[in-house]
C-alpha cells in the first residue's frame, strides 16, 4: 500500500507516527490540512468543512488565522502537532520536506494570543501514595512551579477547583481509584488528562530527574524534605514536559512549596455558592474577583486571583497587607503609582518568551517600555515605609541599561517577523549600514544604467526592470529587436516584448540579491545577540515582576476601598465576628447611588453563635449571609471591607449550603446533594469556622425537613468542637423555638412592611422571628396567575382554621370559569353576573367622579 502513496502522504504518515494521539496540522501552502480521523475531529471541534479526496477525509484551516482555531481546539482539551515546511521551496527540487516543529497542549502554550492575561495557565500532575496526594502545578509562561501535599481527596478536589489547571497528568493507579473525578474534569472543566504508567511516578526516578535538572544533591533547599508525594508529582510533570512534549524546561529554576493549612479552607461548593470567581448566570458579569480586580498589570491580576483563592490565616501576614493599603490612604504620593503601573506590560511572560526563544521583536519593545517607568516607580516608593511596600521597592532594580540597549538596537516599530527586514536601527553595525546604502542606491544605478543603454543602442523605449520570477532584465519591444547589440543575452520572449541580460546587469543583480540576504542574516544575528543579552537579566526581571505584581494587587485593593468608602478591618484574638453596617461587596459595587441597605452582624462564641433567620423569599436572607462570608474572605486576603467597622477573630473555614440543584451527571437528587454537603460541614467545622445554611431539609417532606434542620442546628450548638459561627436561614417557623432551648441560638428576621398595595422588603435584619412567611405575596410578585393566588389564599385559610384535609377538599376553580373570582361566593352567582355586566358597560375615559360614585353605589346595592 505504501508504494501507492504519494510522496506528500508518505510525509504525512511519517509525521503522524511521531504525533501519536495528537491532532496533526500538516502545512500545505497557505493551509494546515488534517486527514482521516484528524480531519473528522478538526471539522467537528473547529467547525470547518469536512471533504474527501480519493476517499480520504480531509479538512483544513488557513495558516494566517490558525492561532484562533488552535485556541478553540486547546479549549476542547486537544493535543495539537504542527508539521511545517522546513525547507525553502525556491531552493528545493521535488517535494518540500516537512517535520513536526512543535506540540501544543493546553498546559504548554506560549503564544500570548492563546493565553488569558489575568489567569495562570497551569499544567498539573497528581501523585498518590496510600491516601496522600501530591499536586504539582507549573505555569511554563511565567516559570512559576509550586507543589503541595494534600491529606484528603476532598481537599484535592477543592484545590483543583481553585487552581483550574488546563492539563493534568495522572497515574494509572489514580485513574482506577478516582475515575469519576477524571470524567468530571474532562467533561465539565474541559481539562486535558494524560495517563502515565505508575513507574513514571517512581520516587527514585522523579528525585533523580529533579536533582539533575536543578543541579543539586538534594531537594531539601526547596522545602521538599520528606515530601515524597510532592517530589513524585514534580518529577513526573517536568519529565513529561521535556521528554514527551520536547519542550525546554531550562527556565524552570526553582520549586516553591505551599501548605493548605496556611490558608482559609473554602471548598468548591462554597466557592461556587459565594461566586468568588464566576458569576451565577450568563447575563451576569460580576463576581467577587471581578469587583476586587482594579489591577493594571497582568501580573497583578494573576496574583490577586491567588489571594482571593487562598485567604490567609496568619494574622501578622494579613496585617502587613492592610498596613500597606492604609499607607496608600495616608500618602499624597499614591496617585502617581497608578500612572507608572499602567505603563508596565506583562514583563513576567515577556522575559520568559525572550529567554525561551518564543519572542518576537515587538516583545522586546514591549519589555523596553515596561522597564522604563521602574526608576520613577522606585522613586515614589522611597516615600513609603510599610513592610510590604519597602520590600517590594528593594526588589526593583533600575533596568535603564537594558531598556537603552533595546532602544539603541531595534527600530521603534519593528516587524513581527525577522524575515520582513527593517529590524535594526542605523549606526548599530557599519557593515549593515553599507549594505543598506548599496540597496538604497540601487534605483539610482538602474536609472543611470538605463540611460546609458539608450544612448549606446539608440533604443529610446528601452527599460531596465525587475520581477520576482526572472530578476533584473532589459525590456525591448519586438519592433526594436533589430537594434539589440550582440552583447545582450536573451532571457525571455513575450508577445510584444523581448527581455535581455548583460554581464554588467547580472553582476549588479548578484550584488543586490547578496546584499538583501546579508542584510536579513546580519539583522537576525544582531537581534539574537540582543535577545541573549536581555535574557541574561532574566532572574532580576522575574524578581521585579513579582514585586510589581504585589504593588499592583495592593494598589488595586486601595483603589476600590477609596472609591467605595471601605474601612480597615481589625483582627483580634477570639472567635467573635462584629460587623457594623456591612454591605455586600458585589451588590454595593453595582449600586452606584450608594442606596444598598447595610446590616450589622454581632456574633460571639457564647450567647450569640447561631442566627436563626426567618423571612420571605426574595427579602434578602441569602444576600445577607453571603455578605458576611464575603467580608470575612476580603478581610483575610488583606483587603479593606464595605462596612462602618469590622472586628473579628480569624476564620479558619467557610462552609455554605445554599440553593438546590440536582447533580444529574452523577445521579444525585437535590436532597442527596443537600445532605452530602451538610454532612461535609458537620464533619469538618471548628469553633473558628463560619457556616452558612439556607433552607436545610426542604428537599424532603415537611416533617422530615424540620427534624433534620433542628438536629443540625442542635448539633452545632451542643458539640463543642463544632461550635462554629452559623447563619441559618429557614422557613420552618418551628425552629425558632430553638432559641428558648439552647444557649447561643438567636432569632433574627428580615424586615417586611405591609402596605395596601402589597409588601415592601426592608432588606434589614432585625432581632426576633418573623410571624408570617409572606409566601403568597411573593408568589403574586413573581407573576403567578390570579386564580392560583386566590386558591392558595383559600387553602391557607383552611389550613389555619380547619386543618390540611378540609382545606384541600374544595376543588380548584379553573380559568375558563368566571374571571371575577375574587368576588364569587356560593349562592351569589346571579348578582355577581349583573355587576360584571355593569362594569363592562363603563367608559372609563368619559366617566366623571360623580358618575363613578353613583355606579359604585349601584353595585353595592346589587351585592347586598
What is the per-residue pLDDT across 579-589, written as a single tens digit (0 to 9) for each? 999 999 999 99
Number of helices and strands in the chain (H, E):
32, 27
Cα pseudo-dihedral 197, 203, 208, 210, rounded to 10: 80
Q: In the prediction, which pLDDT does 163 show?
A: 93
pLDDT at 816 over 70: no
| Burial of 685 per CB tally in 10 Å (0-12, 13-18, 19+) | buried
Q: In the prediction, which pLDDT does 445 show?
A: 85
CB 653 within 8 A of CB 684: yes
Please give the model's pTM, rounded to 2 decimal places.
0.83
Residue 62 exposure: Cα atoms within 13 Å on the Cβ side: 3
* Whole-angstrom distance, CA of residue 195 vs CA of residue 628: 42
Report the 10 Å Cβ neighbour count for 148.
Answer: 24
CB 341 within 8 A of CB 294: no
Q: In the prediction, which pLDDT does 338 show?
A: 93
Cα pseudo-dihedral 651, 690, 656, 554, rounded to 10: -30
534 is written with which cell numbers?
536581555
CB 652 within 8 A of CB 585: no
Domains and CATH numbers, the chain: 2-104 (3.40.1170.10), 112-262 (3.30.420.110), 293-399+537-564 (1.10.1420.10), 440-510 (1.10.1420.10), 570-772 (3.40.50.300), 825-864 (no CATH)
* Whole-angstrom distance, CA of residue 605 vs CA of residue 700: 32
Report the 10 Å Cβ neighbour count for 511.
Answer: 13
DSSP labels, 225-246: TT-HHHHHHHHHHHHIIIIIS-
CB 337 within 8 A of CB 551: yes
* Whole-angstrom distance, CA of residue 672 vs CA of residue 665: 13
Length of the chain in residues, anyone? 864
pLDDT bucket at 807, cuts 50 / 70 / 90: very low
pLDDT tens-digit profile of 250-259? 999 999 999 9
Bridge-based pairing of strands 645-649 and 577-582 is antiparallel
Percent of the chain with pLDDT over 90: 57
Distances from the Cα of 689 to the Cα of 383, 574, 650, 721, angstroms: 39, 12, 9, 10
Closest by Cα among 159, 153, 119 to 136: 159
3-state percent helix, strand, coil for the chain, nearest multiple of 5:
50, 20, 30
| Burial of 603 per CB tally in 10 Å (0-12, 13-18, 19+) | buried
| Lowest pLDDT segment from 492-506, 762-776, 797-811 | 797-811
639 or 822, greater pLDDT: 639
DSSP SS3 for 601: strand
pLDDT tens-digit profile of 705-716? 888 889 999 999
Closest by Cα among 425, 415, 406, 429 to 530: 406
Q: In the prediction, which pLDDT does 802 show?
A: 53
DSSP labels, 432-451: HHHHHHHHHTHHHHHHHHHH
pLDDT at 830 over 50: yes
Q: What is the mean pLDDT of the chain?
A: 87
* Whole-angstrom distance, CA of residue 583 vs CA of residue 710: 29
pLDDT tens-digit profile of 428-440? 999 898 888 888 7
pLDDT tens-digit profile of 211-223? 999 999 999 999 9
CB 389 within 8 A of CB 551: yes
> Which helix (H) or strand (E) is 759 found in, with range?
strand 758-767
pLDDT at 652 over 60: yes
863 or 221, greater pLDDT: 221
Backbone angles phi, psi at 463, to 5 degrees: -135, 145
Amino acid at each position: 500500500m505504501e508504494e501507492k502513496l504519494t510522496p506528500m502522504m508518505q510525509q504525512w504518515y511519517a509525521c503522524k507516527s511521531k504525533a501519536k494521539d495528537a491532532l496533526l496540522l500538516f502545512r500545505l501552502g497557505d493551509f494546515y490540512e488534517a486527514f482521516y480521523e484528524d480531519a473528522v475531529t478538526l471539522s467537528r471541534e473547529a467547525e470547518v468543512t469536512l471533504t474527501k479526496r480519493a476517499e480520504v477525509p480531509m479538512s483544513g484551516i488557513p495558516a494566517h488565522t490558525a492561532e484562533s482555531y488552535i485556541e478553540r481546539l486547546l479549549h476542547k482539551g486537544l493535543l495539537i502537532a504542527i508539521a511545517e515546511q522546513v525547507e525553502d521551496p525556491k531552493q528545493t527540487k521535488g517535494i518540500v520536506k516537512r517535520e513536526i516543529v512543535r506540540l501544543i497542549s493546553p498546559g504548554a502554550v506560549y503564544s500570548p494570543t492563546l493565553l488569558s492575561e489575568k489567569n495562570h495557565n497551569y499544567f498539573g500532575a497528581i501523585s498518590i501514595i496510600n491516601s496522600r496526594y501530591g499536586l504539582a502545578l507549573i505555569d511554563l509562561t511565567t516559570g512559576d512551579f509550586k507543589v503541595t501535599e494534600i491529606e484528603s481527596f476532598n481537599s484535592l478536589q477543592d484545590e483543583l477547583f481553585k487552581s483550574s489547571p488546563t492539563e493534568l497528568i495522572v497515574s494509572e493507579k489514580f485513574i482506577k481509584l478516582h475515575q469519576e473525578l477524571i470524567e468530571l474534569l474532562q467533561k465539565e472543566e474541559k481539562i486535558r488528562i494524560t495517563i502515565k504508567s505508575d513507574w513514571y511516578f517512581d520516587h527514585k526516578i522523579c528525585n533523580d530527574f529533579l536533582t539533575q535538572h536543578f543541579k543539586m544533591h538534594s531537594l531539601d533547599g526547596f522545602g521538599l524534605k520528606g515530601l515524597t508525594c510532592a517530589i513524585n508529582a514534580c518529577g513526573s510533570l517536568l519529565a513529561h514536559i521535556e521528554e514527551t512534549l520536547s519542550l525546554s524546561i531550562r527556565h524552570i529554576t526553582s520549586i516553591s512549596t505551599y501548605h493548605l493549612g496556611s490558608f482559609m479552607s473554602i471548598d468548591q461548593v462554597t466557592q461556587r455558592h459565594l461566586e468568588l470567581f464566576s458569576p451565577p448566570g450568563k447575563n451576569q458579569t460580576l463576581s467577587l474577583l471581578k469587583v476586587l480586580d482594579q489591577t493594571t498589570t497582568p501580573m497583578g491580576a494573576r496574583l490577586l486571583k491567588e489571594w482571593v483563592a487562598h485567604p490567609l490565616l496568619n494574622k501578622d501576614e494579613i496585617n502587613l497587607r492592610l498596613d500597606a493599603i492604609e499607607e496608600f490612604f495616608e500618602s499624597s504620593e499614591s496617585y502617581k503609582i497608578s500612572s507608572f503601573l499602567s505603563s508596565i506590560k506583562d514583563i513576567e511572560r515577556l522575559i520568559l518568551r525572550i529567554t525561551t526563544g518564543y519572542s518576537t521583536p515587538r516583545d522586546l519593545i514591549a519589555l523596553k517600555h515596561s522597564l522604563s517607568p521602574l526608576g520613577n516607580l522606585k522613586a515614589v516608593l522611597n516615600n513609603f515605609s510599610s513592610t510590604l511596600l519597602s520590600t517590594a521597592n528593594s526588589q526593583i532594580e533600575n533596568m535603564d541599561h537594558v531598556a537603552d540597549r533595546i532602544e539603541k538596537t531595534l527600530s521603534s516599530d519593528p516587524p513581527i517577523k525577522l524575515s520582513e527586514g527593517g529590524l535594526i536601527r542605523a549606526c548599530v553595525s557599519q557593515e549593515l549600514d553599507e549594505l543598506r546604502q548599496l540597496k538604497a542606491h540601487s534605483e539610482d544605478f538602474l536609472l543611470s544604467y538605463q540611460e546609458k543603454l539608450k544612448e549606446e543602442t539608440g533604443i529610446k523605449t528601452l527599460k531596465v526592470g525587475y520581477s520576482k520570477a526572472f530578476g533584473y532584465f532589459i525590456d525591448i519591444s519586438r519592433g526594436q529587436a533589430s537594434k539589440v547589440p550582440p552583447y545582450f543575452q536573451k532571457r525571455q520572449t513575450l508577445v510584444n516584448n523581448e527581455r535581455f541580460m548583460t554581464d554588467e546587469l547580472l553582476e549588479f543583480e548578484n550584488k543586490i540579491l547578496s546584499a538583501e540576504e546579508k542584510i536579513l542574516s546580519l539583522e537576525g544575528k544582531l537581534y539574537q545577540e540582543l535577545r541573549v543579552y536581555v535574557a541574561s537579566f532574566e532572574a532580576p526581571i522575574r524578581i521585579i515582576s513579582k514585586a510589581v505584581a504585589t504593588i499592583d494587587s495592593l494598589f488595586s485593593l486601595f483603589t476600590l476601598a477609596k472609591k467605595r468608602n471601605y474601612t480597615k478591618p481589625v483582627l483580634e484574638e477570639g472567635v467573635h465576628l462584629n460587623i457594623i453596617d456591612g454591605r455586600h461587596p458585589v451588590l454595593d459595587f453595582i449600586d452606584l447611588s450608594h442606596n444598598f441597605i447595610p446590616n450589622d452582624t454581632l456574633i460571639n462564641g457564647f450567647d450569640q453563635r447561631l442566627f436563626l433567620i426567618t423571612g420571605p423569599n426574595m427579602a434578602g436572607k441569602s444576600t445577607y449571609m453571603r455578605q458576611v462570608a464575603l467580608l470575612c474572605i476580603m478581610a483575610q486576603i488583606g483587603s479593606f471591607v464595605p462596612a462602618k467597622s469590622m472586628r473579628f477573630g480569624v476564620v479558619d473555614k467557610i462552609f455554605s449550603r445554599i440553593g438546590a440543584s440536582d447533580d444529574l451527571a452523577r445521579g444525585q437528587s437535590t436532597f442527596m446533594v443537600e445532605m452530602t454537603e451538610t454532612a461535609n460541614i458537620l464533619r469538618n467545622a471548628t469553633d473558628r469556622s463560619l457556616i452558612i445554611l439556607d433552607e436545610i431539609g426542604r428537599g424532603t417532606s415537611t416533617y422530615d425537613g424540620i427534624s433534620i434542620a433542628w438536629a443540625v442546628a442542635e448539633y452545632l450548638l451542643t458539640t463543642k468542637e463544632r461550635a462554629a459561627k452559623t447563619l441559618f436561614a429557614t422557613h420552618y417557623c418551628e425552629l425558632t423555638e430553638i432559641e428558648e432551648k439552647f444557649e447561643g441560638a438567636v432569632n433574627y428576621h428580615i424586615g417586611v412592611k405591609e402596605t395596601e398595595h402589597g409588601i415592601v422588603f426592608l432588606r434589614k435584619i432585625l432581632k426576633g422571628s418573623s410571624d408570617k412567611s409572606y409566601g403568597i405575596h411573593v408568589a403574586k410578585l413573581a407573576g403567578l396567575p390570579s386564580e392560583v393566588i386566590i386558591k392558595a389564599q383559600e387553602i391557607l385559610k383552611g389550613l389555619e382554621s380547619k386543618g390540611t384535609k378540609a382545606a384541600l377538599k374544595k376543588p380548584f376553580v379553573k380559568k375558563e370559569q368566571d374571571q371575577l373570582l375574587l368576588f364569587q361566593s356560593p349562592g351569589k352567582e346571579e348578582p355577581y353576573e349583573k355587576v360584571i355586566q355593569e362594569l363592562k358597560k363603563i367608559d372609563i375615559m368619559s366617566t366623571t367622579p360623580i358618575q363613578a360614585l353613583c355606579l359604585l353605589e349601584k353595585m353595592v346595592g346589587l351585592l347586598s
